[in-house]
Amino acid sequence: MAAEIKIISANSMREVIADTKAAFETASGHALNVTVVETGAIRRRVLAGEAFDVIMVPREAADEFERQGKIAAGSQVRLVRVDFGLAVRANGPHPDTGTPDALKRAFLAAKIVLITDPATGGISGVHLMEVLGKLGIADAMKAKLVPNRGGAIHAERVVKGEADLAVQAEHEIRSVPDAAFLEYPMEFQRPIIFMGGVGTAASDAAAAGAYLKFISGSPEALAAMKAHHLSHA
């Protein structure tokens, strides 16, 4: 019988889910009910008792949910790898970010830096604050940081000249025309593996498992990952 599959996902899988939704629903007869929010918001909702059929979050969060009995043991699958860095205008200055000292100079030279609000639990924002702390410039950067929700809008605003830098996921930056991606120094690179899992309270575990198999390895899902500059994990 057809089922409604409730999905909770972090931002990195937003476009892949959207691009493949119709194909899965047509092939399976199931309907997808999708919620996409920051990882921190997902953690709060899940630990407060919200039920789901499929969840897609960073591996650290997925492992935590499995330990707490929120994700069915053994159901986790790898989805995508996400890297983080800086967005600049493709036709503008490209500061050196290859070493910690160079990155420090790039941040201090910027007037406005767009970030995902760390208070939401967004990974790029949380990681940035750790980087600034290690560089010893957290206090000096406070007035320059402009927090917002996650997504490609950061890089879009940089391209429009509304900010000097944006800190976000590589695939989000590369999806924006006229934006260029600058890597963190090796010491600060923190690739994140996103995992999918079936909820222990899933209303239809078989349907949830079928969707997880589809989104993690079907030709449609792999093509969508590639189209949105995501690396399959």
- Return the domain boundaries, the chain: 4-81+192-232, 84-188
Residues present in the chain in total: 233
Angle at 42 between CA 41 and CA 47, to 5 degrees: 105
Pairing, β 77-82 against β 84-89: unpaired
Angle at 95 between CA 233 and CA 140, to 5 degrees: 95
Q: Are 7 and 17 in contact (CB under 8 A)?
A: yes
* Token code pair at residue 24: 């899965």
Architecture of domain 84-188 in this structure: 3-Layer(aba) Sandwich (3.40)
pLDDT value for 128: 95
- Distance between CA atoms of 58 and 78, rounded to whole angstroms? 10
- Distance between CA atoms of 129 and 125, rounded to whole angstroms? 6
Q: Do domains 4-81+192-232 and 84-188 have the same CATH topology?
A: yes
Q: Considering the entire predicted model, what is its pTM?
A: 0.86
CATH 3.10.20.30 assigned to domain 4-81+192-232? The reply is no
Q: Are 130 and 85 in contact (CB under 8 A)?
A: no
- Distance between CA atoms of 167 and 189, rounded to whole angstroms? 13
* pLDDT tens string 140-191: 999 999 987 655 578 999 999 999 999 999 999 999 999 999 999 999 998 9
* pLDDT tens string 48-97: 999 999 999 999 999 999 999 999 999 999 999 999 999 999 999 999 99
Q: Are 168 and 116 in contact (CB under 8 A)?
A: yes
pLDDT value for 20: 98
Query: Residue type for 19, please?
Result: D
